[in-house]
């Protein structure tokens, strides 16, 4: 179980966590996974695009999110957020 630092939810990551002796980057283990799925296995353990955005750059009014917190822009799935306007 992982606890999301943004929404405080306990959840099970969608990808199998890397084994302790596997030193490869997560990107290399799961090159075709969605960024949020890999993010779930990173140190912070953010659970979704929505939590990632809120944690990293505050609420992104240009995006919408589905019930699983996946990011959309104008109805199109958006796996990677653009840098926020203030950056």
**Residue 52 contacts Zn ion per CB under 5 A:** no
Based on CB atoms, which residue is closest to Zn ion, 26 or 31? 26
> Which residues in 10-49 contact Zn ion (CB under 5 A)?
47
Closest distance between Zn ion and the C-beta of residue 70, in Å?
12
Q: How far apart are CA 82 and CA 84, in angstroms?
A: 6
In the set 26, 39, 41, 51, which binds Zn ion (CB under 5 A)? 51
Task: Name the site residues for Zn ion (rule: CB under 5 A).
Answer: 4, 6-7, 47, 51
């Amino acid at each position: 179980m992982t606890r999301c630092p943004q929404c405080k939810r306990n959840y099970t990551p969608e990808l199998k966590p890397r084994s302790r002796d596997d030193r490869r980057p997560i990107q290399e283990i799961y090159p075709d996974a969605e960024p949020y799925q890999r993010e779930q296995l990173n140190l912070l353990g953010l659970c979704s695009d929505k939590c990632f955005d809120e944690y990293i750059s505050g609420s992104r009014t240009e995006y919408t999110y589905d019930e699983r917190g996946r990011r959309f822009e104008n109805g199109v799935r958006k796996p990677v957020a653009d840098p926020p306007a203030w950056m």
